Amino acid sequence: MAKLLLVSNRVPWTVACAGGKGVLKPSSGGLATALAGTHARGETLWVGWPGDLGGLDAEARQAILDELQAQRVIPVELSAEEVERYYEGFSNGVLWPLFHYLLDKVRLDTDQDWDAYASVNQRFAEAAAERAEPGDSVWIHDYQLMLVPRYLRELRPDLRIGFFLHIPFPAYEVFRILPWRELLLQGVLASDLVGFHTPGYQAHFVNASRRILGAESREDGLDYDGHHVALGDYAIGIDAEAFSTTAASPSVMARVQEIRQDLGGRTLILGVDRLDYTKGIPQRLLAVERYLELHPEMRDSVLFLQASVPSRERVEAYAQYRKQVDEVTGRINGLYGSPSRVPVHVLHRNIPFEELVALYRAADVMLVTPLRDGMNLVAKEFCATRGDDSGILILSEFAGASADLREAILVNPYDTGAMAEALDTALRMPPGQARARMRALRKRVITHDVHRWAEAFLRDLHAQGPSPHPMAAH
Ligand code: G6P
């Protein structure tokens, strides 16, 4: 039977060095979490970067490589310079902010970073080409690897190649800012099937490919350079079963009781995000501040708890962002706190899975208000844990998830007043109405889970013939 190779920058485990020894820790972020289920189920190999093995001696290094092999991970190691240029520089200093419409965060000093991006993409393609057997399918993921489909096609025209973009594809007018726009599109268009989270992102990609490369629209995709590439929208889900079962477990229920006792009768408003400037945390804090300003009677009766998982800490914009979050938090607590209570509490750390589920289950209101987000799985995770249909979700209209989760209270995260009002609406919502909304949300999250997402994409990928690509003859 033909195998499947997954290819992504991040694999589900990242190496951490502790006292010369290496340990594999679960990676954070939607992609690794979502695909881990697919990998656990089947005969897949996973090609990706396991993090920095540089601090390990020969024995510790071998132990980690053995562990990775046991997990069917083919490691692509990156030098310190490649991490700086390909990962921090081009992927997260240029593509990430630009695709999220945050143009002031885009780094401009990046010619050499582009070279590193291209050469690391070539290495990922080589690693996949080396391990794939004739007729295998290869599923490449996300903005860090947009050139891989083309490089892989050149090396192995016999393979079926799928590509999935986990972040928004921006409007043409924004995408065209990139000096490397042709090469990036050509990289992706060498695939047999390209998937997006929403029809909107797909439409932007089609528009950019037509206007920049002159690709021709067909019913199910695009023709470019004598090759047909199918396109589709596939909204990613979560492993809903894992969240709902864990939420109902006795240990989590006991922890929920404890959290609620600690709250001492206060209402819990929760935020959970990687500490990333796309997530809109300061804007969310401003909305909480506005709410407390307008509702002095509530200052003692709500707690806004923000869990911020450290991310990309060596990228300058992320370090500055943390300072900004801490400053706004300090100001609100200074204004509205009392000697014994503060209205805002921020946790800067990784949260173990069971604790995360307990927080979701204990919260009264969940604030998921990114400025822009490909999908946002936190919103779906929250719904999956609400077995009794309690809990209210406030969701940004700029998250891909808002296309699916229509029963949430949808807000514009740039509009502080509207967000404060949404909080008020949530806190006053009659329980019957809240339950009806959550029931509908939970049902959708459970039926449209990550397994269904992966199956739908792979079914469509397998329906594409491994087409001899004209590039193979070049
Ligand atoms: C987002 C991206 C993923 C990425 C994750 C975590 O979800 O779409 O590709 O893996 O963030 O970011 P990191 O840079 O730590 O891999």
pLDDT tens digits, residue range 171-227? 999 999 999 999 999 999 999 999 999 999 999 999 999 999 999 999 999 999 999
Give residue ranges with CB within 6 A of ligand 1: 10, 29-32, 142, 166-167, 311-312
Give the DSSP letter string of 70-88: HTTEEE----HHHIIIIII
Distance 175 CA to ligand 1 centre (A): 20
pLDDT tens digits, residue range 404-420? 999 999 999 999 999 99
pLDDT tens digits, residue range 328-366? 999 999 999 999 899 999 999 999 999 999 999 999 999
**137 - beta bridge partners?**
4, 160
Look up the ipTM and state it.
0.99
Q: Scan for tokens 């310079």, then name that residue.
A: 81
pLDDT tens digits, residue range 363-404? 999 999 999 999 999 999 999 999 999 999 999 999 999 999
Q: How many residues does the chain have?
A: 474
What would the two tokens of residue 192 be? 């047999």
Pairing of strands 365-368, 392-396: parallel
H or E segment to which residue 16 belongs = strand 13-18
Active site residue 158: no
pLDDT tens digits, residue range 435-444? 999 999 999 9
How far is 382 from 366, CA to CA, in rounded Å? 8
Give the DSSP letter string of 91-160: IIIIIHHHHTT-GGG-----HHHHHHHHHHHHHHHHHHHHHPPTT-EEEEESGGGTTHHHHHHHH-TTSE
Residue owning the nearest CA to atom 14 of ligand 1: 312
Q: Scan for tokens 């002031």, then name that residue.
A: 104
pTM of the model: 0.96
| Geometric angle at alpha carbon 401, from 396 and 405, rounded to 5° | 90
Residue owning the nearest CA to atom 16 of ligand 1: 10
How far is 147 from 125, CA to CA, in rounded Å? 9
Distance 222 CA to ligand 1 centre (A): 28
Query: C-alpha distances in angstroms, 384 versus 160, 204, 250?
Result: 34, 31, 17
